Amino acid sequence: MNALVWRGTAVAVTKVPRPGRAAGRALIDVAYAGICGTDLHICDGTHPRARPGLVIGHEFAGRLAEPVDGLEAGTPVTVEPLLWCGRCAACRHGMRHVCDRLRMVGIDEPGAAAEQVSVPAELLIPLPAGLDLRHGAFVEPLAVAVHAVRRSRLRLGEVVAVVGAGPIGLAVAICARLAGASEVLVAETAPARRDLARRLGFTVVDTVDLAARRQAGEPTCDVLLDATGAAPVAAGFAGWVNPGGRIVLVGVHSLPAPVDLQRLTFSEIEVIGTRVYLREDLEVAIRLIATGAADPEPLLTWTVPLSAAAGAIDLLRDGSQVKVLIEVGR
Ligand SMILES: [Zn+2]
Ligand SMILES: [Zn+2]
């Protein structure tokens, strides 16, 4: 079958063997797979766990290729792509999403940018009949946003700032509005993403404006969600939040970053870490899409066939696109 494979230097569509049948696993005919920042890290060779020969793709939707666990062949599904160890303290204490040895489909096992993918059957999440499978492929990134906003303890009427208007940042902004923010400020530098944020009804700002407002003693935001993981954001964000506010880390900082701890202390600002999602967050994301409460459509800015997927990776680098989907089937 055809698959998008990271070969250690470049990514290419390559013939690979179909996944075999195995006890306890489910075989999925992939319909759509999303590409995200993690995939860019893999293709840059900067992901610490990915090994050459990897089929990428951890956010996807498709249909069961054969019956499993009482679900019929053809059932539309997405998956919780997390592979936890089940033995560490986090796993034993109901926190398997922060497992010490957390692994992921599409990073540590062959992923879904391929005609078929095999996953542990317990990871399957059936999708409502009739849900657009393009939207089904956005359940995973939306669940990241659901998890982050729930972790923020956002209260009705609070002002939220989101730094970064990629797919995760915009999904966070959408979820913050749904969760009761009175205003959602979005800081982003890429023009196409700023335009989209504005079209979605968010107030586009620059982080220097937040800093200036704080220095003038004016309110800025009660909750700031950092969807960049960029060191300059960490260097500044303590100065962009109202006293008593919360800063939620959504993007991954791969290196230690200097943070103004004095400002966090003097203003009693909380910093909250987040990692992926719980099963519940994925189920909430599906409900938000199925009911129309959250519409992924404006964020799905480009869809390419699997045959052209290698070039799609580059489309993501300059910030001109938001979510790029690979269409494998339908
Ligand atoms: Zn991702
Ligand atoms: Zn574990």
**How far is the centre of ligand 2, averaged over its atoms, from the C-alpha of 228 (Å)?**
26
**pLDDT at residue 96, as a whole number:** 96
**pLDDT at residue 330, as a whole number:** 67
Stated pTM of the model: 0.97
User: What ligand has the least distance to the C-alpha of 113?
Assistant: 1
> What is the percent of the chain where pLDDT is above 90?
93
Q: Which residues of 212-224 are buried (b: 16+ CB within 10 A; e: fewer)?
A: ebbeeeeebbbbb
Contact 167, 144 (CB under 8 A): no
Active site annotation includes 41: yes
User: What ligand has the least distance to the C-alpha of 58?
Assistant: 1
Residue in 38, 203, 301, 303 annotated catalytic: 38
| 66: three-class secondary structure by DSSP | coil
**How far is the centre of ligand 2, averaged over its atoms, from the C-alpha of 187 (Å)?**
35
| Whole-number CA gyration radius for the chain | 20
315 pLDDT band, cuts 50/70/90, is confident
Which segments within 250-299 are labelled E, that is strand? 270-273
Is residue 136 over pLDDT 70? yes
Residue in 9, 14, 41, 274 annotated catalytic: 41
**How far is the centre of ligand 2, averaged over its atoms, from the C-alpha of 100 (Å)?**
5
Active site annotation includes 75: no
Mean pLDDT confidence for 246-257: 95
